[in-house]
Amino acid sequence: MNLRNTLSFERKYTGAHIGIAMFALFLGTLYGPLQALEHAGINLYFLAPWTKSYYHGLTLHGVLNALIFTTFFISGFLTYVVSYSLKRPIAFRWVANLGLILMVVGFVTAAIPLLLNMATVLYTFYPPMKAHSAFYIGVTVLVVGSWVVGLSIFLTLAAWYKDNPGERAPLAAFMSAITFAMWQICTIGAAVELLALLIPWSLGFIDGIDPQFARTLFWYTGHPLVYFWLLPAYMSWYVMVPKLAGGKLFSDPMARLSFLLFLIFSTPTGFHHQFTDPGIAAGWKLIHSVLTFSVFFPSLLTMFNMWASLNIAGKMRDGTGYVAWIAKLPWGKPELTAQLLAAILFLFGGIGGIINASYNINLVIHNTAWVSGHFHTTVGSAVALTFIGTLYWLLPHLTGKGLFSKKAALAQVWTWFVGMIIFSRGMHLLGLLGAPRRTQMGVAIKSEIFFNPDWNVPMIWVGVGGTILLISYILIYVNVVGTLVAGRKLSDEEIPDVPLADAVSRPEQGPMILSRWKPWLATATGLIILSYGPMIIQSIYNYQATSPGFQPW
Amino acid sequence: MTTPHEMHPDEWIDPYEKIMMVLGVLMLTGMMGTLLVAAFAFGIQVPSPEKQVNPNTISEQGPFSEPGLRDLGGGKYEAYIIGQIWSWNPREIRVPAGSTVTFFITSKDVQHGFLLWHKNLNAQIVPGQVSKYTITFDEPGEYPYLCHEYCGIGHHTMSGVVIVE
Ligand code: HEM
Ligand SMILES: [Cu+2]
Ligand SMILES: [Cu+2]
């Protein structure tokens, strides 16, 4: 009996996660083009009449896209990949179900104040801006739910280890578990911020809060959060893209090495979001800057391995030369093309990321529109477009229904690519010209001091890019809804399999340490203690609970 | 077709990949090096803790009770600036060309952001903390400053200007 049929619970479970994720993206991403066009001077907010202000919409955009869509998609996708690559069902269904239920309860609890404009604090919820307590409680329950999903993944993997003593876990399962291990380590910061500071404060148990310390706790989680988004995309680029391209993964041991390096280097880097914060000593910022440069290294490994794997696929399809083989890749498959274009956009994201992480150079771009330009090539493309590409095989796989329109999917993928290049180029440029981020630009420029005539042209880039992205966004849902409602029922042979590539360099060729857990977890913990410990102790010592809450929206 | 990797099956790191790794490390070290030169040879630094204040009382006591410019003589100035929902106090600062101004900025309510155009002054303004930056203005002209951290629905109206005469 084929594996897919034995995993019918897992398919439903993952389907539920993905369904919620796509619902969140539907509402969240609607605001993207609205914001972009607002910057270009065109107000389309009548399309979302429940939106009370630009910032209400921006909060929904950030929370629904960056927190809800990602967390649900990743939880569902990785749970399935683990079961499929280990060829075994979820170890404890009740644990998995508990995780999902907590996540849904958390999402709904947070969504109510969000929609009612009672939590218009943006997705970073910096105090002393104070949201309704239901928002903080909801976010906390959502995170706890994702921990339980992670636990369910660990339990499934542990059951596999028990049946296969001394063996190396298949790459896809190994990477998924690393992603969740990193997530469990790094969410401690936000959990402490929410449980010890924000929730008691919003419920009125404590009067004041220390905003600087809250920021430090937030960014302890905030940077690895971006790796929580990115690693599942990398997993797909390593394990699935080579298969979709008709080739093999170049090196399995090197893929493992890169993920283990992400595990240890993702977290001790948070101060690179706080270079301009007044309350942290420059020396600590420099240390985190160096550590951030270290975390680029596994991304360079990823780039090499991915290029080499695609090269194998290209040559197997009679491609030649140093670059000409690229044309031979099966670009007609939207599920592949989406991920290739996502990876190309990520090159820009990575280069921009080095600039952001560059200590004093950060003074040029911190909190300008540049930053928004940057993360739309990373989470908004490398991650989101990879996930949408994944959907193009996963949806038929889960539902047994054929993709509604391959042409629409290809058009979607290319319009996202082109739209994002134009949009993001405009935002980067605006930032360099001194335009702030998180700002209702269309109104701001009406004040005389605020306006810089050089902004006119990049504003048009932003508007044009946003319009193209609006088309792309609609095309996503044409296919999602079309497939569910009118997708052709596939026969068993037609249903796409989960694309898991073999590797040229086999896992056994690498040293055993690349498949162990303890040394890497210990190193990760040690680095965090060294890079954060003294600063946290000092912050507690200097803690001043002076800030009351404000609701200036 | 064989890859270099298949020609050396006993090595787990491909020879090409080794080259790439060395180049990658060199590139990252080189970039970090230039940053260190900029930081220590040219003194382009990010801020460090200046001091803690109580955001609820800054308007009554201490230097922020009278926001604005202080002339220290010899072309040196201090500017005390408060961010509040949704304006900077003061909104305008006038200094002669060639002045060196040390900015002390804080907030009396939520977080704000202070971005001074054409200069390396980019500060997260956190209530309870003071941000300190020293800037020299050689060229006459207008240097607008904006708020770049979301501080409520009037955030986009929060700006001011340094006028160098
Ligand atoms: C249709 C495509 C999209 C467009 C045109 C778009 C446009 C924008 C614009 C103009 C802003 C900046 C607003 C400001 O700083 O005032 C923004 C912010 C943001 N976007 Fe998007 N976006 C899109 C899709 C996405 C996706 C798919 C994600 C993530 C999965 C995403 C995540 C974010 C985040 C996290 C912010 C920052 C919110 C904040 O500063 O609090 N966006 N978007
Ligand atoms: Cu970061
Ligand atoms: Cu503001």
A323-357 residue pLDDT tens: 999 999 999 999 999 999 999 999 999 999 999 99
pLDDT, tens digit, 9 for 90 and up, residues A432-458: 999 999 999 988 888 777 788 899 999
* Residues of chain B contacting residue A439, judged by C-beta atoms under 8 Å apart: 148, 150, 155-156
Q: How far apart are CA A256 and CA A168, in angstroms?
A: 11
pLDDT, tens digit, 9 for 90 and up, residues A256-300: 999 999 999 999 999 999 999 999 999 999 999 999 999 999 999
For residue B129, the number of C-alpha atoms closer than 13 Å in the C-beta half-sphere is 30
Token pair 């509604």: residue: A404
Q: Give the percent of chain A with pLDDT over 70.
A: 100
Average pLDDT of the residues in A218-232: 96
pLDDT at B4: 60
Query: Is pLDDT above 60 for A1?
Result: no
3-state secondary structure of B106: strand
Query: Is pLDDT above 60 for A28?
Result: yes
Computed over every residue of chain A, the mean pLDDT equals 95
Q: How far apart are CA A290 and CA B143, in angstroms?
A: 33
Tokens found for residue A456: 């006119």
DSSP A379: I
| Stretch (H or E) spanning A505 | strand A503-505
Return the ∠ at Cα A507 (arms to A502 and A509), rounded to 5°: 120
Token pair 């006119």: residue: A456
Asked, for residue A408, whether it belongs to a domain, the answer is: yes
Asked, for residue A552, whether it belongs to a domain, the answer is: no
Any ligand 1 atom below 6 A from CB of A65: yes
Do the Cβ atoms of A133 and A203 come closer than 8 Å?
yes
Asked, for residue A549, whether it belongs to a domain, the answer is: no
Asked, for residue A548, whether it belongs to a domain, the answer is: no
3-state secondary structure of A110: helix
Taking CA–CA distances from B151, the nearest residue in chain A reads: A552
pLDDT, tens digit, 9 for 90 and up, residues A472-531: 999 999 999 999 999 999 998 899 999 999 998 888 888 889 988 999 999 999 999 999
What CATH number does the domain containing A283 carry?
A: 1.20.210.10
Tokens found for residue A353: 């990321």
pLDDT at B9: 62
Q: How far apart are CA A53 and CA A305, in angstroms?
A: 45
Bridge partners (DSSP) of residue A466 are: none
Higher pLDDT, A193 or B8: A193
Any ligand 1 atom below 6 A from CB of A60: no
pLDDT at A354: 94
Asked, for residue A266, whether it belongs to a domain, the answer is: yes
**Cα(B142) to centroid of ligand 3, in Å?**
21
Computed over every residue of chain B, the mean pLDDT equals 91
pLDDT at A104: 98
Q: Is A164 exposed, middle or buried (0-12, 13-18, 19+ CB in 10 A)?
A: exposed
Least Cα separation, residue B73 to chain A (angstroms): 27
pLDDT bracket for residue A25 (50, 70, 90):
very high
Q: How far apart are CA A262 and CA A224, in angstroms?
A: 9
* CA-closest residue to ligand 1 atom 37: A62
Least Cα separation, residue A295 to chain B (angstroms): 10
Domain housing A48: 3-541
**Cα(A227) to centroid of ligand 3, in Å?**
28
* Residues of chain B contacting residue A294, judged by C-beta atoms under 8 Å apart: 28
- Chain A, 300 to 319: residues with Cβ < 8 Å from chain B are 300-301, 304-305, 308, 311-312, 315-316
Asked, for residue A71, whether it belongs to a domain, the answer is: yes
Q: Is A228 exposed, middle or buried (0-12, 13-18, 19+ CB in 10 A)?
A: buried
* Residues of chain B contacting residue A305, judged by C-beta atoms under 8 Å apart: 17
Do the Cβ atoms of A132 and A119 come closer than 8 Å?
yes
pTM for the structure as a whole: 0.96
Number of H helices, E strands in chain A: 21, 2
pLDDT, tens digit, 9 for 90 and up, residues A183-194: 999 999 999 999
* CA-closest residue to ligand 1 atom 38: A62
The residue among A429, A420, A407, A428 whose CA lies nearest residue A469 is: A420
Q: Give the percent of chain A with pLDDT over 90.
A: 92
pLDDT at B13: 87
**Cα(A272) to centroid of ligand 2, in Å?**
6
pLDDT bracket for residue B5 (50, 70, 90):
low
Return the ∠ at Cα A536 (arms to A535 and A538), rounded to 5°: 65
Token pair 């690559």: residue: A85
Q: Which residue spans within A313-463 are E strands per DSSP?
A: none
**Cα(B122) to centroid of ligand 1, in Å?**
22
Average pLDDT of the residues in A426-434: 95
Average pLDDT of the residues in A34-41: 94
pLDDT at B16: 87
Do the Cβ atoms of A256 and A507 come closer than 8 Å?
yes
Asked, for residue A127, whether it belongs to a domain, the answer is: yes
pLDDT, tens digit, 9 for 90 and up, residues A146-205: 999 999 999 999 999 999 998 999 999 999 999 999 999 999 999 999 999 999 999 999
| Ligand that comes closest to the CA of residue A295 | 2
Which runs of consecutive H residues, i.e. helices, occur in chain B? 4-7, 15-36
Q: Which of A360, A433, A450, A452 has the highest number of chain B CBs within 10 A, making it the mutation to test binding with B?
A: A360
pLDDT at A130: 96
Query: Is pLDDT above 60 for A36?
Result: yes
Q: What ipTM does the predicted assembly reach?
A: 0.94
B120 and A363: CB-CB below 8 Å?
yes
Any ligand 1 atom below 6 A from CB of A437: yes
Q: How far apart are CA B140 and CA A84, in angstroms?
A: 67
Total domain count for chain A? 1
Q: How far apart are CA A360 and CA B131, in angstroms?
A: 15
Give, for ligand 1, the residue of A37, A123, A372 to mutate: max count of ligand atoms closer than 8 Å to Cβ.
A372
Do the Cβ atoms of B95 and B77 come closer than 8 Å?
yes
Q: Which residues surround ligand 3, an ion (CB under 5 A)?
A: B 112, 147, 151, 155, 158
CB nearest to A297's CB, from B16, B24, B120: B24
Asked, for residue A547, whether it belongs to a domain, the answer is: no
The residue type of A13 is Y
Any ligand 1 atom below 6 A from CB of A499: no
Which atom in ligand 1 lies closest to the alpha carbon of residue A439?
16
Which atom in ligand 1 lies closest to the alpha carbon of residue A473?
1
The residue among A19, A30, A76 whose CA lies nearest residue A56 is: A30
* Residues of chain B contacting residue A548, judged by C-beta atoms under 8 Å apart: 56
For CA atoms A484, A486, A487, A489, give the dihedral sign: positive
Query: Is pLDDT above 60 for B1?
Result: no
Tokens found for residue B151: 């501080």
Phi, psi of A535 (to 5 degrees): -65, -40
